[in-house]
Structure 1
Amino acid sequence: MRLPTMSGHFLLAPIPESSDYLLPKDVKLAVLGAGRVGKSAMIVRFLTKRFIGDYEPNTDKLYSRLVYVEGDQLSLQIQDTPGGIQAQDNLGQAVDFLSKCVQWAEGFLLVYSITDYDSYQAIRPLYQHIRKVHPDSKAPVIIVGNKGDLLHARQVQTHDGIQLANELGSLFLEISTSENYEDVCDVFRHLCKEVSKLHSPSGERRKTSVISRPRSPNVQDLKRRFKQALSPKVKAPSALG
């Protein structure tokens, strides 16, 4: 299914100097996929609005930033992952890192390149691994077909991405990180909103429960004191004055 067009403001927020503010919600995202599909470029473009080429750092990196999503302040953490996680060399270490990353994250972007059919085939096992680690979780997953501007080198058709997303029950968007910042922003914005929804209902119930329980005894105590204040025993001394 296609990723819906997003509305509302999505702003990168500076870290406040004062500690006198409400703690933002934590949102932990992981960007997974084969090597050279543009995972890191997507993250960097999203955070800086700058495209710096097919950016693939040699080490894993955790990006942290305060952001606003439609008025809600979020403490966003994005875990970048190394390319070549399907490679046979150091497979044990790669799988161990992948498992830890999947356990840590609450929302996932699965990225492939439309110019690399092998990267497309890597999406299904990645999705299955996420559901294996989170068997009872509704952790949101968005499938992203990147490098949509390289139509001359296309190996994966748009309908292939849509079909895969439908089979897995995920959302799908085909984008060009180098040409369209808004599409990149929409992907992260939507995933942030979906992760926030996972915690909001239960969090609101806990907050209401904690606040409402003490109110009844306090109200009864006030009523009792009010009646005592109107009783003759209490009024007599004041009349003597």
Structure 2
Amino acid sequence: MRSPNMSGHFLLAPIPESSPDYLLPRDIKLAVLGAGRVGKSAMIVRFLTKRFIGDYEPNTGKLYSRLVCVEGDQLSLQIQDTPGVQDNLMQVVDSLSKCVQWAEGFLLVYSITDYSSYQSIRPLYQHIRKVHPDSKAPVVIVGNKGDLLHARQVQTDDGVQLANELGSLFLEISTSENYEDVCDVFQHLCKEVSKLHSLSGERRRASVIPRPRSPNMQDLKRRFKQALSPKVKAPSALV
């Protein structure tokens, strides 16, 4: 299921280093969370390399970095892979807290073939909001392995309902079959984080109030100018 609001091009592009107008790209920090064996690492590698790596031993805890261009904006994208959350969230809550505190946007991934992975999404979302109580950090819920319909345990409507309850975007994708859908997920999240950066920048500018000039300083300047101006002598009276 693709979102109708995610049109546009996404490019992985090198950023020139010698341009005289070169500006440092903005940092975008994302974290991918979910249960084990839902395809988190495969999604990240697929997005960055266009290759589907299949089932493999995931390199959880790895931080991926890439310079990218999203709709003309140069971004320094960092994606944190995380260990799979099992039945007890508290087992990994310490390591997750550090990652959640670091990140600005989140992908919560479950497999449509594993209902228990779907059940882990709500506590993960609640943990994010606990770490960022005053934050509007964007969260996208992803139902992965959409090509394995014969083994489906989670219906599409279940994902939609959960996303609506949590106020998040939902997409059901197949990492192995559709590279564009994987790009759409990361593209949308990058754009939402960029919006937060822009809003926070506007707030900082609005909060800077010009300091009024001191009236004493103005008075001193006026007197100083008067002291430097030529004095006109009054005509003396004739005797």
Q: Deviations over 1:18-48 (max 9, x none)?
A: 3761111111000000000000000000001
Q: Deviations over 1:166-203 (max 9, x none)?
A: 11111100000000000000000000000111110231
Q: CA deviation at 1:109?
A: 0.2
Q: CA deviation at 1:225?
A: 18
- TM-score by length of structure 2 reads 0.81
Task: Choose 108-117 or 223-232, whichever is displaced more.
Answer: 223-232
Q: Which runs of 5+ in 1 are unaligned?
A: none
- TM-score by length of structure 1 reads 0.80
Q: Is the 8 A contact 2:35 2:86 kept in 1?
A: no
Match of 1:183 in 2: 181
Q: Is the 8 A contact 1:2 1:162 kept in 2?
A: no
Q: Which runs of 5+ in 2 are unaligned?
A: none
Q: CA deviation at 1:57?
A: 1.9
Cα separation, partners in 2 of 1:222 and 1:29, compared to 1, 3 Å = farther
Q: Is the 8 A contact 1:40 1:56 kept in 2?
A: no
Q: Is the 8 A contact 2:141 2:171 kept in 1?
A: yes
Q: CA deviation at 1:54?
A: 2.5
Match of 2:232 in 1: 234
Task: Choose 119-128 or 54-63, whichever is displaced more.
Answer: 54-63
The structure with the larger Rg is 2
Q: Is the 8 A contact 1:65 1:77 kept in 2?
A: yes
Matched positions, count: 237
Q: CA deviation at 1:132?
A: 0.5
Match of 1:102 in 2: 100
Cα separation, partners in 2 of 1:216 and 1:111, compared to 1, 3 Å = farther
Cα separation, partners in 2 of 1:240 and 1:52, compared to 1, 3 Å = farther
Task: Choose 46-55 or 112-121, whichever is displaced more.
Answer: 46-55
Q: CA deviation at 1:234?
A: 18
Cα separation, partners in 2 of 1:226 and 1:170, compared to 1, 3 Å = farther
Pairs within 5 Å for 1:190-229: 190-204=188-202, 206=204
Task: Choose 202-211 or 53-62, whichever is displaced more.
Answer: 202-211
Cα separation, partners in 2 of 1:177 and 1:214, compared to 1, 3 Å = farther
Q: Is the 8 A contact 1:228 1:234 kept in 2?
A: no
Cα separation, partners in 2 of 1:57 and 1:172, compared to 1, 3 Å = same
Q: Is the 8 A contact 1:36 1:56 kept in 2?
A: no
1: CA distance, partners of 2:77 / 2:14: 12
Query: Does 2:156 match 1:155?
Result: no
Q: CA deviation at 1:59?
A: 3.8
Q: Is the 8 A contact 2:80 2:99 kept in 1?
A: yes
Q: CA deviation at 1:217?
A: 15
Q: CA RMSD in A?
A: 5.5
Counting aligned pairs with the same residue, the percent is 91
Q: CA deviation at 1:219?
A: 19
Cα separation, partners in 2 of 1:56 and 1:218, compared to 1, 3 Å = farther
Q: Is the 8 A contact 1:51 1:178 kept in 2?
A: yes
Q: Is the 8 A contact 2:15 2:74 kept in 1?
A: no
Cα separation, partners in 2 of 1:221 and 1:145, compared to 1, 3 Å = farther
